Amino acid sequence: MPVANTKAPARIQIQYPTPTVDGGRYPAKRVVGDVVAVTADVFRDGHEVLRAVVRFRGPGSRGWTEAPLHPLDAHVNGVRWGGEFTVTTQGRWEFTIEAWSDTFATWRDELQRKLGAGQSDLAGELSEGVVMLEQAMARARETGDRDAIESVLEVLGDPAGAPAAALAPDLFTAMERASERTGSTTLERPLALEVDRVGAAFASWYELFPRSWGGLAEVEKQIPAIAELGFDVLYFPPIHPIGESNRKGPNNTLTAAPGDPGSPYAIGSEEGGHDAVHPELGTLEDVRSLCATAREHGMDVALDLALNASPDHPWLKAHPEWFQQRPDGTLKYAENPPKRYQDIYNFNWDTEDWRELWQAWRDVVVHWVETGIKVFRVDNPHTKPFPFWEWLIREVHAVDRDVVFLAEAFTRRAVMRHLAKIGFTQSYTYFTWKNSRGELSEYVSELAHGPEREYFRPNLFINTPDILHAYLQHGGPPAFVSRLVLAGTLSPAYGIYSGYEHFENVPVREGSEEYLDSEKYETRQRALDGPLLPMIRRLNEIRRENPALQRLENVTFLETYNEALIAYVKSVPGNTIVCVANIDPQHAQEGSVVIPAHLGLAPAFAVGDLLTGEHYDWRIGPNYVRLDPAGKQAHVLRVEQQ
């Protein structure tokens, strides 16, 4: 069989580039301002000297910019190369890697080794050099380079002086600048980065039910105080009209009394559906005003996106084909036997009218985006088709790239990962159920250092209207302090649901994670006066002041010689934070936090507790700590001398 190509196939291999997700199938995520570290295996047959660069471009950019790659492990004869570039705008970035053989450097390197070995008959080698230099002369764009090359060309005929002249650093620099990219190879296709605004990764969330605060206009009045506490996102469960049919009563009872407000997740009534505002909460104009006030205070308002309908939702009449109808004409309400949600109907994603259904949801989201909502907490995305989310997020980002989508999926890890891969900006996690040192360090290490680090941004909600963990139920205020410090220092994004600051911890019954008298089914009287607020304010302040706490991948867990004490360090250049928390809410615990030498700290250094202002002398090796539920339950220590 004859060979088909006309030019010899490329000899350089570029393999295993990073950052990538599933070999390039999905984009890795970054935020504006991030320095993107790029690595790849670069090699070819033989012993030629190679060069490599990363080429990158931002959204809408046609031309590529280059940055050099360097061998990372040349000292062990390795093949890994690395370099970096900075992403400066939101949107889809692309990068690729180019590598080529450096013929002059290869020739120079061999010549040098031959001279070192005392070889003198180098006429053949020098004849190669003459050709290379002459060709480079023709290519060189700078006069200085041409001069440097020409002056060496003039002496290359002289067997005595020639080799030394050929090795001159000036010539090397000139030749490199005038070099041709021999046998240049690039990745088969560019790799993608999805770049979000900083707030998509680093944010403190506060969740409240507006009806418990007097409606949207009253909530707007609280904005300055909430902003002053250091929160970045104010998140509301659905604010739409609530169905009357099968309305749930207090504590999820099946029959509502007159005046019971119902669950805000039973969306839709004669007063409107997902694009409407519950009349008792306010108007669309109130939402607009509230979003504007939030923006003035540097905050986002987040809305719940729950794709289900009450029996009274306008779409049930307008689009019955969007719902799951039985052959006998009945509609299927939501259920996961034996659980039944009679006040909620699911959509039929397999409807033949799926295009219109998708478009309707897109219009709902864009409607809210245009009203000022830039953050959506998506309810149970794992029970709707993945392709729908991938499409919806792309569509909404085409309208406004600022929009953030948080996936509320508490399900199998693979499903949660997939939702993040296909576009969700942030994700809820298993954090609530990770309460021991072993569970926490294993889980957070996986998120920070495993493949998920490239695309899965955890948002560590400590409690939610659905989840009051037994640890909080039984641990009392020390448990709340400990979990607050953990969430706020482990992850760039964390959140609490209103009531946390009051140490609310009574379940609807023993063994349940549901709250007693849950706000999901009744209106409560809320105010911003919880006893934990001063610590929350300080923690949010610490988070903003210390860039080490604004990243996840820089966490390293530390030995404490006590399972009840968890410790970790986070570091960026110029800022190192060591956190220690007592996981035991009942007893004082003593141990030693072991600072390993590889962190690069001084043998002895001072640390200041950012929560209390106290100072300690620490050192590489074990450092005694004692944390007492009756006093301090956690340290957030900044290294003061580096």
> Which amino acid, one-letter code, is at 165?
A
Site for its own copies in 181-220 (CB under 8 A): 183
Which of 491, 489, 434, 502 shows the shortest CA–CA distance to 458? 491
Residue in 10, 72, 168, 572 binding its own copies, rule: CB under 8 A: 10
DSSP-derived pairing of the beta strands 182-186 and 91-101? antiparallel
128/122 Cα distance (integer angstroms): 10
- Where does this chain touch its own copies (CB under 8 A) — which range of 160-168, 277-285, 304-312, 378-386? 378-386
Q: Residue 623 — φ and ψ, nearest 5°?
A: -130, 120
Q: Minimal distance in Å, beta carbon 604 to its own copies? A: 35
Give the contact letters, 407-426, x = binds to its own copies (CB under 8 A), - = no: -----x-xx--x--------
545/34 Cα distance (integer angstroms): 18
- Where does this chain touch its own copies (CB under 8 A) — which range of 246-254, 301-309, 347-355, 525-533? 347-355
| 599 is an interface residue for its own copies by CB under 8 A | no
Q: Minimal distance in Å, beta carbon 391 to its own copies? A: 7
Q: Minimal distance in Å, beta carbon 328 to its own copies? A: 4
Q: Residue 119 — φ and ψ, nearest 5°?
A: -70, 140
368/349 Cα distance (integer angstroms): 22
Q: Minimal distance in Å, beta carbon 45 to its own copies? A: 6
> Which amino acid, one-letter code, is at 207?
E
**What are the tokens at 469?**
């963990």
**What are the tokens at 319?**
């689009």
289/371 Cα distance (integer angstroms): 9
Give the active site residue among 408, 452, 519, 522. Answer: 408
- Where does this chain touch its own copies (CB under 8 A) — which range of 61-69, 331-339, 608-616, 617-625? 331-339
Residue in 31, 52, 69, 79 binding its own copies, rule: CB under 8 A: 79
| 125 is an interface residue for its own copies by CB under 8 A | yes
| 349 is an interface residue for its own copies by CB under 8 A | yes
Which of 590, 600, 581 shows the shortest CA–CA distance to 622? 590
Check if 41 is active-site: no
**What are the tokens at 332?**
């299927």
Cα pseudo-dihedral 319, 323, 328, 332, rounded to 10 = -140
Q: Give the strands of the sheet with 375-379, arranged side by side.
A: 426-427, 404-408, 375-379, 300-305, 233-236, 203-207, 493-497, 459-461
Q: Minimal distance in Å, beta carbon 145 to its own copies? A: 22
| 336 is an interface residue for its own copies by CB under 8 A | yes
Instruction: Count the alpha carbons within 13 Å of 555 in the hemisphere toward its beta carbon.
Output: 30
Identify which of residues 114 and 502 has a Cβ nearer to its own copies in the complex: 114
| 22 is an interface residue for its own copies by CB under 8 A | yes
| 47 is an interface residue for its own copies by CB under 8 A | yes
> Which amino acid, one-letter code, is at 259?
G
**What are the tokens at 539?**
């923690």
Q: How far is CA 333 from CA 251, 265, 310, 342, 571, in A?
A: 20, 13, 9, 6, 50
Residue in 62, 63, 350, 613 binding its own copies, rule: CB under 8 A: 350
Site for its own copies in 83-122 (CB under 8 A): 110, 113-114, 116-117, 119
334/351 Cα distance (integer angstroms): 17
Number of chain positions touching its own copies (CB under 8 A):
65
**What are the tokens at 112?**
């040098």
Q: Minimal distance in Å, beta carbon 513 to its own copies? A: 18
Check if 379 is active-site: yes
| 124 is an interface residue for its own copies by CB under 8 A | yes
Identify which of residues 40 and 373 has a Cβ nearer to its own copies in the complex: 40
Q: Minimal distance in Å, beta carbon 320 to its own copies? A: 15
| 123 is an interface residue for its own copies by CB under 8 A | yes
Residue 262 is classified by DSSP as -
Report whether 603 contacts 641 (CB < 8 A): no
Q: Minimal distance in Å, beta carbon 362 to its own copies? A: 9
Report whether 566 contacts 440 (CB < 8 A): yes
Residue length, the chain? 642
Identify which of residues 10 and 32 has a Cβ nearer to its own copies in the complex: 10
Residue in 13, 18, 89, 283 binding its own copies, rule: CB under 8 A: 13
At a CB cut-off of 8 Å and minimum separation 6, what does 70 contact? 81, 82, 83
Q: Minimal distance in Å, beta carbon 607 to its own copies? A: 38
- Where does this chain touch its own copies (CB under 8 A) — which range of 138-146, 228-236, 264-272, 329-337? 329-337
| 77 is an interface residue for its own copies by CB under 8 A | yes
Identify which of residues 52 and 233 has a Cβ nearer to its own copies in the complex: 52
593/560 Cα distance (integer angstroms): 4
Residue in 64, 172, 391, 605 binding its own copies, rule: CB under 8 A: 391
Give the active site residue among 145, 194, 312, 379. Answer: 379
Which of 498, 466, 507 shows the shortest CA–CA distance to 213? 498
> Taking the alpha carbons of 19, 24, 29, 32 in that order, is the dihedral positive or negative?
positive
**What are the tokens at 30?**
């970054």
Tell me the catalytic residues. Answer: 379, 408
| Interacting residues toward its own copies by CB under 8 A | 1-3, 5, 8-11, 13, 15, 22-23, 41, 43-47, 77-79, 110, 113-114, 116-117, 119, 123-125, 127-128, 130-131, 183, 326-328, 330, 332, 335-338, 349-351, 354-355, 358-359, 381-387, 391, 395, 398, 412, 414-415, 418
